[in-house]
Chain A
């Protein structure tokens, strides 16, 4: 059985020796390229896409998921998974609005954020200390939160009315800078904060190291349990914040408002280059990915396709991304441990004229 020394091996060799090859650069910046492509395409071809109103709407719509993605990305970087983010967002939003009637936003918001943080603490401790798989834990938490949310609201959505409430909601929604309403500005601030934190602080780099090789991190003196728990707390807290802000702007919280976020944020984070295996990726990449997805979805609607198409496409994208990742690591597995000298030998033999 023969397999000629062919294109695949050549690519491996190249990758092994040429670090600046177009292939590896393209791989690293793929999300920015994707963003550019989608933006260009939509601006040129989608009706009513490239205008202030639409772009502002995109920014507003995207704010919740961007906020959630900030914390979720950190959990993924640590090599774990948090499936409870959507339900946490809803849960916190519901608490914030329900308590507003009795305590006002001044108290209800901090309480709601705290609730979110506690969810994260719960998740983190179970994963780090009891050492249960994070998928399993967060599926359980997801279910508990759904029940809790419904119990608080009695099965109805929460909606508020009143002058203060509406005033706040208006404030959040109207642009004070071109295309930038306060809620979006706040989100941008969060993005900047998290980006700096994750990319440039010791704590931030610890997340990467724990996700990259837990043992190495531990041997170097990093408290891996604390890092993991912190990641989960951040994830749930930001999910809570995202949900709360969204609900404040609409003065209402429906019971399934966060359900789509899970798929959205997971897809975006993976597309953005944060692998499930951990140690890779970044805040900015996830944010750009969320934006790209939203542009894609909005464009779909503007082209005249209905909401169903949007749901289908979003599911399809996630499936494709997961498939791609799985296939890539499947291929990678096959070539681990190859010796470069042997491949060189083959190349030399292949280059020699046949006798």
Chain B
């Protein structure tokens, strides 16, 4: 006996077409911002929007944020919201790498990754196996990490060129951020693009990604489907720590100083990019391409706001408001369509 359902038909199909449409939508918004910038420039309200230097700035900012966001997206996809220890991981890996520069460039790199991955594993185990609240735990981790930084380096800022006389090592480190292929493509940008491709591939074209999707969408069901949920979650946090470490190296290279304040704000901006990019905080939905789109939107938005003279901190207000708005809209529309996303 079959039944006529009084259900909102919009929610009935998780159509491939509608997914493509929403991803395109994000890029459309990014394009709109681009147009907005051009418009404002032509109206004389802002200067230097369409200059190559400015566009390069946008690309650079997007690269750094994108690296963090793409890695963190795995955590969001798995239903564990975000990694609030990202900023301090950036600071710690950065400062460690500078400190180890005296033993050579390779040691510095290795040291940074060891530290970063260690943080990732700890997060992954505590959250994956012992099921601690991800936000509170990563917050606590960030305090512990900051404490370690302050304990070892106090308030010192360390400079690559002072730390070591090995000019080659310093130059290599410097070039992490500054090297440009064809004068345009910086290493962070190249890396981010690779990351996006790899991330999208992992998410959509590996068993890991498929199992992560189920873990994010219905954790209990995943457990009863023979999926090793604890491992999935741990890997997600390790991936995030990996990308965060890369970002840490790039940011530290950019600022040419290892300090405890490197990386501040990246956690919130990354989550916002992820959410704007179509990944819901409930997990199991979204794509890396979308996250890239979200990062683009944020990058363009920031740039335009800066050119308009909006102060950094006023930008914070706007970003915070947008974040809440996007999350709120997600929550309401999905709930009214009968798909309960919290």
Is any CB of A less than 8 Å from a CB of B in the complex?
Answer: yes
- Chain A residues proximal to chain B, CB less than 8 Å: 81, 83, 126, 130-133, 135-137, 139-151, 155, 263, 266, 276, 306-309, 311-316, 318-319, 322-323, 325-327, 329-330
Q: Does B140 have its Cβ within 8 Å of any Cβ on chain A?
A: yes
Residues of A within 8 A of B197 (CB): none
Interface size on B, residues (CB 8 A): 45
Residues of A within 8 A of B335 (CB): 131
Q: Does B314 have its Cβ within 8 Å of any Cβ on chain A?
A: yes
Residues of A within 8 A of B139 (CB): 83, 263, 266, 318
A145 CB to closest chain B CB (Å) equals 8
Which of B44-52, B105-113, B126-134, B164-172 binds A?
A: B126-134
B229 CB to closest chain A CB (Å) equals 13
Q: With contacts A146-B316, A147-B315 known, is A319 near B144, CB below 8 A? A: yes
Q: With contacts A131-B335, A133-B342, A312-B148 known, is A318 near B323, CB below 8 A? A: no
Residues of B within 8 A of A312 (CB): 144, 147-148, 150-151
Whether A322 lies near B313 (C-beta < 8 A) is no
Residues of A within 8 A of B130 (CB): 323, 326-327, 330
Main secondary structure of the interface of B (DSSP, over half): helix
Whether A322 lies near B81 (C-beta < 8 A) is no
Whether A329 lies near B320 (C-beta < 8 A) is no
Instruction: Select from chain B the residue with minimum beta-carbon distance to A142.
Output: B320
Residues of A within 8 A of B126 (CB): 322-323, 326
- Chain B residues proximal to chain A, CB less than 8 Å: 81, 126, 129-133, 135-137, 139-148, 150-151, 154, 268, 271, 281, 311-321, 323-324, 327-328, 331-332, 335, 342
Whether B320 lies near A141 (C-beta < 8 A) is yes
Whether B327 lies near A322 (C-beta < 8 A) is no
A211 CB to closest chain B CB (Å) equals 15
Instruction: Select from chain A the residue with minimum beta-carbon distance to B330.
Output: A132
Interface contacts (Cβ under 8 Å), in number, total 143
Whether A311 lies near B317 (C-beta < 8 A) is no
Given the complex of chains A and B, what is the CA–CA distance between A83 and B140 in angstroms?
12
Instruction: Select from chain B the residue with minimum beta-carbon distance to A310.
Output: B147
Whether A144 lies near B140 (C-beta < 8 A) is no
Q: List 17 A-B contacts (CB under 8 A).
A: A130-B332, A132-B324, A132-B327, A132-B328, A137-B327, A139-B323, A147-B314, A147-B319, A155-B311, A311-B150, A316-B147, A319-B137, A319-B141, A326-B126, A326-B133, A330-B130, A330-B131
Residue from A81, A126, A144, A315 having most chain B Cβ neighbours under 10 A: A315
Q: With contacts A136-B81, A311-B146 known, is A329 near B323, CB below 8 A? A: no
Whether B136 lies near A143 (C-beta < 8 A) is no
7 new A-B contacts, CB < 8 A, other than A136-B324, A330-B129, are A143-B268, A150-B314, A266-B139, A311-B146, A312-B150, A315-B142, A326-B132
Whether B313 lies near A150 (C-beta < 8 A) is yes
B5 CB to closest chain A CB (Å) equals 24
Residues of B within 8 A of A136 (CB): 81, 281, 324, 327
Residues of A within 8 A of B268 (CB): 139, 143
Whether A322 lies near B316 (C-beta < 8 A) is no
Instruction: Select from chain A the residue with minimum beta-carbon distance to B275.
Output: A136
Whether B320 lies near A315 (C-beta < 8 A) is no
Given the complex of chains A and B, what is the CA–CA distance between A139 and B326 in angstroms?
14
